[in-house]
Chains A and B, each alone.
Chain A
Amino acid sequence: MKHFIYLVFLVVYIPSAFSQQADIPGTFKTKIQEYRTQTGKQILLLDKDVSKLRIPSSIESIEGLPEALVKDTDYSFFEFQGSYIIIYPSYLKTRFQASESETSAEKKKRLYPVQGIIKDNEFQSNIAGALFSIPQLELAASTDEKGKFELQVPEGTYLAYFSSMGKTSERRIIKVYGELSLSVELFESINELDLVTVSDRAIDANVMSTLPGAARMPMEDLKLLPPLLGEVDLVKGMLLLPGVTTVGEGASGFNVRGGGVDQNLILMDGSPVFNPSHMFGFFGIFNPDAVKDAQLFKGDVPAEFGGRLSSVFTISTRSGDKEEWNYAGGIGFLSSRLGLNGPIGERTQVFASGRAAYPNWILKRIPNIQLNNSKTNFQDANLRIDHRINDRNTLALSLYSSSDYFKFGTDTAYTWRSNLASLKWSNSWGENLGNEMILAYSGYDYSVVGEKFPSEFEMNSTITYFSIQQGLEWEGKKWEGIKAGYQINRYELGLGSLLPKNSDSAIKPVNLPREQGLEGAVFVEVPLKFSENLQGQAGLRYSRFVALGPGEVLVYESQIPQKTDRIVEILPFEEGEVIQSYGGLEPRLAMRYSISEEFSLKASLNRNLQYLHLLTNNFASAPVDLWKLSDRYIRPQEAWQYAIGLYRNFKMNTIETSLEMYYKDMPQIVEYRDGARLFLNPNLETDLIMGEGYAYGSELLIRKNGGRINGWVAYTFSRSLRRVNSAEDIQINRGEYFPANWDQPHDLTFVGSYKPVRRVSFNATFNYRTGRPITLPSGIYDIGGNLVIDYQERNQARIPDYHRLDLAMTYYFYQKKNSKYKSQLTLSVYNVYGRRNAFSWFFQPNPDSGIPKSYRLAVIGTIIPSITYNFSIQ
Chain B
Amino acid sequence: MKSTQFFCCLVLALLFSSCVDEIKLNLSKEVSPVLVVDAWIGPKEGQSYVQVFTSGAYVSGSADIGTVSVELVDVFLEREDGKKIPFKRQWDDKYYPQEEINPEEGESFRLIFQTIEGENFESSWEKFPPSVQVEDMEVNAIERLVLIPSQAGNLLQTRTFAEVNVEISDPGKGNLGYLSTSKGISELFTKSNFDNCLCTCYRNEPNLFKGMNFQLNENFEGRSYQKKIGEIPLSSFGRFYVETTLRVLNVFGSEYFEQVSIQQRNTGSIFDPAPFRIKGNIRKSNGGNEVVLGGLFLFQETRYTKMFSRSEIRRQSLSLNHYLEPLVSVAFSCDEYFTDASPFKPSPFLP
A residues touching B (Cβ–Cβ < 8 Å)? 229, 250-252, 280, 333-334, 359, 362-363, 365-369, 371-373, 453-455, 457, 498, 506-508, 510, 617-622, 624, 674-676, 728, 741, 774-794, 836, 839-845, 847-866
Contacting pair A280 B270 (CB below 8 A): yes
Closest A-chain residue to B270, C-beta based? A622
Q: Kindly list the 7 A-B residue pairs having the minimum CB-CB distance in the complex, ordered from nearest.
A: A779-B55, A842-B268, A847-B210, A840-B268, A847-B211, A857-B268, A777-B58
A856 to B24, CA, bound (A): 10
Beyond the given A252-B270, A855-B21, could you list 8 further A-B residue pairs with CB under 8 A, ordered by the A residue number? A454-B226, A619-B272, A776-B30, A778-B277, A779-B56, A780-B55, A783-B256, A851-B63
**B264 within 8 A of partner (CB):** yes
**B140 within 8 A of partner (CB):** yes
A865 to B67, CA, bound (A): 49
Contacting pair A855 B268 (CB below 8 A): yes
A775 to B275, CA, bound (A): 6
B residues less than 8 Å from A845 (CB atoms):
211, 264
Minimum distance in angstroms from A618 CB to a CB of chain B: 5
**B34 within 8 A of partner (CB):** yes
Contacting pair A790 B293 (CB below 8 A): yes
A residues less than 8 Å from B256 (CB atoms):
783
Say what secondary structure dominates the interface of chain A. loop
**Central interface residue in B4, B57, B257, B271, by most chain A CB within 10 Å:** B271
Contacting pair B19 A783 (CB below 8 A): no
**B154 within 8 A of partner (CB):** yes
**Central interface residue in A455, A778, A860, A865, by most chain B CB within 10 Å:** A778
Q: List 27 A-B contacts (CB under 8 A).
A: A252-B270, A363-B16, A368-B16, A373-B145, A617-B274, A618-B274, A619-B269, A619-B273, A775-B275, A777-B25, A780-B57, A780-B58, A783-B295, A784-B179, A786-B257, A787-B65, A792-B277, A793-B277, A841-B268, A843-B266, A844-B265, A853-B61, A855-B20, A856-B20, A862-B15, A862-B18, A864-B14
A785 to B221, CA, bound (A): 26
Contact check: which of B5, B7, B270, B297 meets A620 at CB < 8 Å? B270
Contacting pair A781 B14 (CB below 8 A): no
**B267 within 8 A of partner (CB):** yes
A863 to B10, CA, bound (A): 11
**B53 within 8 A of partner (CB):** yes
Contacting pair A618 B63 (CB below 8 A): no
A865 to B16, CA, bound (A): 13
A783 and B16 in contact, given A619-B272, A856-B21 (Cβ under 8 angstroms) = no
A residues less than 8 Å from B67 (CB atoms):
781-782
A510 to B146, CA, bound (A): 36
Contacting pair B260 A786 (CB below 8 A): yes
Contact check: which of A454, A457, A780 meets B225 at CB < 8 Å? A454
Minimum distance in angstroms from B342 CB to a CB of chain A: 22
**B320 within 8 A of partner (CB):** no
A373 to B21, CA, bound (A): 21
Contacting pair B23 A365 (CB below 8 A): no
Contacting pair A369 B165 (CB below 8 A): no
Contact check: which of B155, B255, B277 meets A790 at CB < 8 Å? B277
A362 and B8 in contact, given A454-B225, A454-B226 (Cβ under 8 angstroms) = yes
Chain B contact-residue range equals: 35 or more
**B194 within 8 A of partner (CB):** no
A853 to B24, CA, bound (A): 8
Minimum distance in angstroms from A215 CB to a CB of chain B: 27
Contact check: which of B17, B18, B293, B297 meets A781 at CB < 8 Å? B293
A506 to B279, CA, bound (A): 30
Contacting pair A851 B61 (CB below 8 A): yes
Minimum distance in angstroms from A456 CB to a CB of chain B: 11
A618 and B289 in contact, given A365-B9, A786-B212, A852-B58 (Cβ under 8 angstroms) = no
Contact check: which of B7, B147, B210, B219 meets A455 at CB < 8 Å? B219
Minimum distance in angstroms from A849 CB to a CB of chain B: 7
Closest A-chain residue to B273, C-beta based? A617
- Interface positions, chain B 295-316, Cβ under 8 Å from A, are 295, 297
A794 to B274, CA, bound (A): 9
**B204 within 8 A of partner (CB):** no
Contacting pair B15 A864 (CB below 8 A): yes
**B285 within 8 A of partner (CB):** no
A359 to B14, CA, bound (A): 13
B residues less than 8 Å from A617 (CB atoms):
273-274, 276
Closest B-chain residue to A448, C-beta based? B271
A675 and B259 in contact, given A365-B9, A784-B297, A851-B63 (Cβ under 8 angstroms) = yes
A494 to B14, CA, bound (A): 39
Closest A-chain residue to B55, C-beta based? A779
**B345 within 8 A of partner (CB):** no
A794 to B277, CA, bound (A): 9
Contacting pair A371 B274 (CB below 8 A): no
Minimum distance in angstroms from B151 CB to a CB of chain A: 16
Closest A-chain residue to B263, C-beta based? A789
A369 and B18 in contact, given A622-B271, A674-B277 (Cβ under 8 angstroms) = no
Contacting pair B11 A864 (CB below 8 A): yes
Contacting pair A775 B226 (CB below 8 A): no
B residues less than 8 Å from A852 (CB atoms):
58-62, 65
A621 and B270 in contact, given A782-B38, A789-B58 (Cβ under 8 angstroms) = yes
A369 to B159, CA, bound (A): 12
**B350 within 8 A of partner (CB):** no
A863 to B18, CA, bound (A): 12
A779 and B34 in contact, given A280-B270, A506-B223 (Cβ under 8 angstroms) = yes
A508 to B269, CA, bound (A): 27
**Central interface residue in A367, A373, A507, A849, by most chain B CB within 10 Å:** A367
Contact check: which of B31, B156, B277 meets A369 at CB < 8 Å? B156
**B36 within 8 A of partner (CB):** yes
Contacting pair B270 A788 (CB below 8 A): no
A843 and B57 in contact, given A506-B219, A619-B269 (Cβ under 8 angstroms) = no
Minimum distance in angstroms from B70 CB to a CB of chain A: 12
Contacting pair B24 A783 (CB below 8 A): no
A783 and B294 in contact, given A365-B9, A853-B61 (Cβ under 8 angstroms) = yes
**B12 within 8 A of partner (CB):** yes
Question: Binary interface profile of B, 57-77, with partner A (CB < 8 Å = 1, else 0)?
Answer: 111111101010000000000
A372 and B156 in contact, given A620-B270, A844-B263, A852-B62 (Cβ under 8 angstroms) = yes
Contacting pair A624 B268 (CB below 8 A): no
Contacting pair A251 B270 (CB below 8 A): yes
A844 and B219 in contact, given A362-B9, A779-B55, A781-B56 (Cβ under 8 angstroms) = no
Contact check: which of B23, B140, B222 meets A856 at CB < 8 Å? B23
Contacting pair B23 A848 (CB below 8 A): no
Contacting pair A865 B264 (CB below 8 A): no
A775 to B263, CA, bound (A): 13
B residues less than 8 Å from A793 (CB atoms):
277
A residues less than 8 Å from B24 (CB atoms):
854
Closest A-chain residue to B266, C-beta based? A842
**B224 within 8 A of partner (CB):** yes
A residues less than 8 Å from B219 (CB atoms):
455, 457, 498, 506-508, 510
Contacting pair A781 B31 (CB below 8 A): no
A423 to B22, CA, bound (A): 52
**B40 within 8 A of partner (CB):** yes
Minimum distance in angstroms from A351 CB to a CB of chain B: 31
Closest A-chain residue to B256, C-beta based? A783
A780 to B277, CA, bound (A): 11
**B33 within 8 A of partner (CB):** yes
Minimum distance in angstroms from B125 CB to a CB of chain A: 11
Contacting pair B260 A857 (CB below 8 A): no
Contacting pair B267 A857 (CB below 8 A): yes
**B318 within 8 A of partner (CB):** no
A674 to B67, CA, bound (A): 24
Closest B-chain residue to A794, C-beta based? B276
Closest A-chain residue to B57, C-beta based? A779
Contacting pair B270 A250 (CB below 8 A): yes
A779 and B33 in contact, given A841-B268, A865-B11 (Cβ under 8 angstroms) = yes
**Central interface residue in A229, A362, A864, by most chain B CB within 10 Å:** A362
Closest A-chain residue to B259, C-beta based? A675
B residues less than 8 Å from A780 (CB atoms):
55-58, 65
